[in-house]
């Protein structure tokens, strides 16, 4: 029988420190009303402390996932970490997470596709399951966005937070799991959303640091327009390919970048707000962690056989949508 890759468990973690809109009012020229009306965000979590990187959150999410699914670390065949804020350029953050979670019989690697990275990693991990090579694959989305946010830049500092989420993929022969996907990229988007320095093109120097080139840069209006069209287009394309109407969709699981982008995507799909997973108000944009953290928050409301559409957009540009048929009752 045909093998599909089913999500059989979800884990998540967000740091304790809460950065509210009221606190941001003390840092930059903004207000709670302005932030809320334009983004939907009320607060976000920040990872504090010395030597605390994305792996710290990823390890906690993976350990929780293993415990919830009664999975032994040595059973894991592969771990993929989607991140734009790796602990360091090398080794891979996925390797650090595996070591910290006691996973020592798997191979692991990082994937960077900006905010679409979790979808890219999920689709990649599914191939190892569908091909029959592996039985248990973990996909982690983990980002410490506070490490690359300029808290004097009022346009960007209001948007981002830190967090991690993880899912376990296992084989299914009952038609559950990842059933279709549309993944896209367009490198011409580089100029509109990027981190200018820190790579091989512009290695760190005193000048790049002084010029704030190690922080997130985005041309907001252009990114917003492209994100709305791209996420809506691929979500609609996946629905059409699978002959799904809005009535067939139990949940839209969108990347939590901006509530107006989420609303536009839902409207294009014909999906009402009662079917849209939303936690941007509490966490902000956690980049690769947004979609798994949505699943983590809403897990108890999911039922076996539910049709879910995952949709994301990220810098570069990257974007995509995945159709998932949920595999278990919580």
Asked if 307 is an active-site residue, the reply is no
Out of 255, 288, 294, 323, the active site residue is 255
- 285 noted as active-site residue: yes
Report the C-alpha gap between 58 and 147 in whole angstroms.
16
> One of 21, 81, 115, 288 is an active-site residue; which one?
115
Which candidate in 21, 156, 285, 288 is catalytic?
285
Q: Is there a catalytic annotation at residue 255? A: yes
Torsion from C-alpha of 245, 247, 248, 252, nearest 10 degrees: 90
| Residues with catalytic roles | 115, 255, 285
């Amino acid at each position: 029988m045909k093998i599909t890759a089913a999500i059989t468990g979800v884990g998540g973690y967000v740091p304790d420190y809460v950065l509210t809109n009221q606190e941001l009012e003390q840092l930059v020229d903004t207000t709670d009303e302005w932030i809320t009306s334009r983004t939907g965000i009320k607060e976000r979590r920040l990872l504090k402390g010395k030597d605390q990187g994305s792996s710290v959150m990823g390890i906690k999410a993976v350990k929780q996932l293993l415990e919830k699914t009664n999975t032994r670390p040595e059973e894991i065949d592969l771990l993929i970490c989607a991140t734009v804020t790796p602990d360091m350029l090398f080794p891979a953050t996925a390797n650090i997470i595996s070591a910290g979670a006691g996973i020592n019989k798997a191979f692991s690697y990082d994937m960077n596709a900006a905010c679409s990275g979790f979808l890219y990693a999920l689709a990649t991990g599914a191939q190892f399951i569908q091909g029959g090579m592996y039985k248990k694959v973990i996909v982690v989305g983990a980002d410490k966005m506070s490490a690359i946010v300029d808290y004097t830049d009022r346009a960007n500092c209001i948007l981002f937070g830190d967090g991690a989420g993880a899912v376990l993929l296992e084989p299914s022969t009952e038609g559950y799991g990842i059933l279709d996907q549309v993944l896209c990229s367009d490198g011409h988007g580089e100029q509109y959303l990027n981190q200018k320095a820190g790579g091989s093109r512009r290695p760190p120097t005193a000048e790049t640091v002084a010029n704030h080139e190690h922080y997130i840069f985005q041309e907001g209006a252009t990114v917003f327009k492209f994100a709305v069209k791209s996420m809506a287009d691929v979500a609609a394309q996946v629905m059409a390919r699978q002959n799904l109407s809005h009535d067939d969709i139990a949940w839209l699981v969108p990347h939590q970048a901006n509530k107006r982008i989420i609303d536009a995507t839902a409207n294009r799909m014909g999906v009402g707000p009662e079917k849209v997973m939303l936690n941007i108000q509490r966490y902000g944009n956690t980049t690769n962690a947004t979609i798994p953290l949505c699943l983590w928050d809403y897990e108890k409301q999911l039922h076996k056989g539910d049709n879910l559409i995952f949709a994301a957009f990220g810098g570069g540009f990257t974007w995509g949508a995945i159709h998932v048929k949920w595999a278990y009752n919580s």
